[in-house]
Amino acid sequence: MIELNYRNVSAEKVGRENGLELDAVFGEYREKISEIVTRIYAEKDRDGGWKRWLNLGYDKALADSLNQYAHSVKGQFSDMVVLGIGGSSLGGYALLRALLHPYWNQLSDEKRNGLPRFYFVENVDTDQIAPLFEMLDPQRTLFVVISKSGTTAETMSAFMIAKEWLEKNLDAAEVKKHIVAITDAKKGVLRPVADREGYQTFEVPDDVGGRFSVFCAVGLLPAALCGISVAEMQQGIQDLDKALQNPDLSKNPAAQGALIQYLLYERGKPISVFMPYSYRLASVSDWYVQLWAESLGKKHDLNGDVIHVGPTPVRAVGVTDQHSQVQLFNEGPHDKVFTFVAVGKPERDLTIPANQFSEVEDLNYLNGKPMSQLMNAEFESTRASLTSNQRPNLTITLPQVDAYHFAQLLYLLEVQTAIAGELFGIDPFDQPGVELAKKYTYALMGRKGYEELIPVARGEKSEARV
């Protein structure tokens, strides 16, 4: 099981000014947390509650249908291109980066066991997209287009380019076999298109929003297509969920993480740094940044009052950022709370040779040591230096990076976000703040009905809204 260690947020460790009197605050919030956790889980099936993602780890039928499709196409495709953005992309990418060989795309077909290489198109920058099409073989490429709404300009424009590319290069009857669509069961623009064209489809279930969708087909289909065990991920979620459903604050790591982050935000620490000490988990930082920012950064509270609240998440990765951001983390403003992710043991280790520069005294301490020992020492030291500098920090530890524990990590952070949303008194499942720029884009691109916004979008009028 993964574990959360929060001892370094205590006043005892980082001082009263920067830390929390944990016994006191846990006592103070015990009842409130109990109500919140009970309410969240009670609402997991409520229409319009946006909490159906709590059920995904138990959905055996979903796992079966994904595995069945993955099995049916095995060996047909050398490359898989996922078209999606935000919640429709970040989780799947983090998942493949963590659970596949770190240089998967460079492995031979044989070493990949006939499973596809993967690419994610999550930008409309043609310097990313055009070279990809130059490189791919249409006969051997599968596109997985993911959009709950089907109206997302970035995803749909890339999809139209991909479809045209397939049509130019394949027989008409073949094209649909190279496209899978993941979208809403009934609503949206992509659903009728997919049904009409006869694509294989999977659902983004009702009441599962983008950034909470990694454990439906959005994240799990790319995983299954690359041979990752969906069953192990679901088992990991189920086993952890027993603790996360527990209304007792002292036993619930998601509630502990949420409460600590909330209280430190309220006490002048608006920045939340997420720093895995793992190359394989580096992209989890990007996923976390979106989850935390889009869920908690809100103008209005649940009563409609303007509060402009929300912690700013910052991405970091150990050990790389020790030579980049850690100077700021240790000596800059006291405005941050840190979440480290540590991994018990790497899948592979290396020994630093003992006889390479034996004449160089300053390097002798490295001789013959496992590289993992250096990684651990650097993690422990960075954490200790932050603690000495009175910077509150939490550590989530995974025994190893595998499907079971990876799923636990993401699920823990999802539940933590839902609880944090309640503590902040906001709706963590909406994202009204991204709408305005979308409307301006529609205006600039000539979408019907948005003409009036053109001068504002061009910056010719200063009104923020029309």
**Catalytic residue list:** 294, 323, 438
Is there binding between residue 155 and ligand PA5 (CB under 6 A)? Answer: yes
**Minimum distance, C-beta of residue 123 to ligand PA5, in the bound complex (Å):** 13
Is there binding between residue 209 and ligand PA5 (CB under 6 A)? Answer: yes
Residue 392 near residue 18 (C-beta atoms within 8 A): yes
Of the ranges 86-94, 128-136, 327-335, 367-375, which one interacts with ligand PA5 (CB under 6 A)?
Answer: 86-94
Rounded Cα–Cα distance for residues 196 and 94 (Å): 32
Q: Which helix (H) or strand (E) holds 154?
A: helix 153-169
Is there binding between residue 310 and ligand PA5 (CB under 6 A)? Answer: no
Query: DSSP of 246-290, one letter per residue?
Result: ---GGG-HHHHHHHHHHHHHHTT--EEEEEES-STTHHHHHHHHH
**Minimum distance, C-beta of residue 211 to ligand PA5, in the bound complex (Å):** 3
Select the residue interacting with ligand PA5 from 19, 91, 116, 210 (CB under 6 A): 210
| DSSP code for 399 | S
Select the residue interacting with ligand PA5 from 13, 112, 191, 211 (CB under 6 A): 211
Nearer to ligand PA5, 33 or 190 (CB): 190
Nearer to ligand PA5, 14 or 156 (CB): 156
- The residues in 413-432 that bind ligand PA5, with binding defined as CB under 6 A, are 431
Is there binding between residue 234 and ligand PA5 (CB under 6 A)? Answer: no
Nearer to ligand PA5, 350 or 434 (CB): 434
Residue linked to tokens 């001068």: 455
Please name which of 206, 204, 179, 173 lies closest in space to residue 194, comparing C-alpha atoms: 179
**Minimum distance, C-beta of residue 146 to ligand PA5, in the bound complex (Å):** 6
**Minimum distance, C-beta of residue 84 to ligand PA5, in the bound complex (Å):** 6
Nearer to ligand PA5, 20 or 94 (CB): 94
Please name which of 10, 39, 1 lies closest in space to residue 415, comparing C-alpha atoms: 39
Cα separations in angstroms, 157 against 150, 287, 448, 453: 11, 23, 17, 22
Nearer to ligand PA5, 59 or 286 (CB): 286
Cα separations in angstroms, 92 against 63, 80, 84, 227: 15, 12, 10, 13
Is there binding between residue 86 and ligand PA5 (CB under 6 A)? Answer: yes
Is there binding between residue 92 and ligand PA5 (CB under 6 A)? Answer: no
Select the residue interacting with ligand PA5 from 33, 82, 85, 284 (CB under 6 A): 85
3-state secondary structure of 294: helix
**Minimum distance, C-beta of residue 352 to ligand PA5, in the bound complex (Å):** 42
| DSSP code for 64 | H
- Classify residue 1 by burial, with Cβ atoms within 10 Å: 0-12, 13-18, 19+: middle
Is there binding between residue 87 and ligand PA5 (CB under 6 A)? Answer: yes
Is there binding between residue 201 and ligand PA5 (CB under 6 A)? Answer: no
Select the residue interacting with ligand PA5 from 8, 18, 152, 322 (CB under 6 A): 152
**Minimum distance, C-beta of residue 181 to ligand PA5, in the bound complex (Å):** 11
Is there binding between residue 191 and ligand PA5 (CB under 6 A)? Answer: no
Please name which of 60, 114, 384 lies closest in space to residue 238, comparing C-alpha atoms: 60
Token pair belonging to 453: 């916004």
Token pair belonging to 78: 């050398």
Of the ranges 54-62, 127-135, 147-155, 280-288, which one interacts with ligand PA5 (CB under 6 A)?
Answer: 147-155
- The residues in 241-300 that bind ligand PA5, with binding defined as CB under 6 A, are 294
DSSP E strand stretches across 323-403 = 336-343, 393-398
Of the ranges 110-118, 208-216, 387-395, 452-460, which one interacts with ligand PA5 (CB under 6 A)?
Answer: 208-216
- The residues in 429-448 that bind ligand PA5, with binding defined as CB under 6 A, are 431
Rounded Cα–Cα distance for residues 177 and 151 (Å): 23
Token pair belonging to 181: 């669509």
- Round the CA-based radius of gyration of the chain to a whole number and report it: 24
Nearer to ligand PA5, 394 or 418 (CB): 418
Q: Residue 120's beta-bridge partner residues?
A: 82
Nearer to ligand PA5, 75 or 433 (CB): 433
Is there binding between residue 14 and ligand PA5 (CB under 6 A)? Answer: no
Core vs surface per residue 332-357: b (16+ CB within 10 A) or e = eeeebbbbbbbbeebeeeeeeeeeee
Select the residue interacting with ligand PA5 from 8, 88, 201, 283 (CB under 6 A): 88
Query: DSSP of 24-50, one letter per residue?
Result: HHHHHHHHHHHHHHHHHHHTTT-TTS-
Select the residue interacting with ligand PA5 from 52, 148, 163, 405 (CB under 6 A): 148
Q: Residue 340's beta-bridge partner residues?
A: 275, 395
Nearer to ligand PA5, 204 or 412 (CB): 204
Nearer to ligand PA5, 229 or 441 (CB): 441
Q: What residue ranges bind ligand PA5 (CB under 6 A)? A: 85-88, 147-149, 152, 155, 209-211, 294, 431
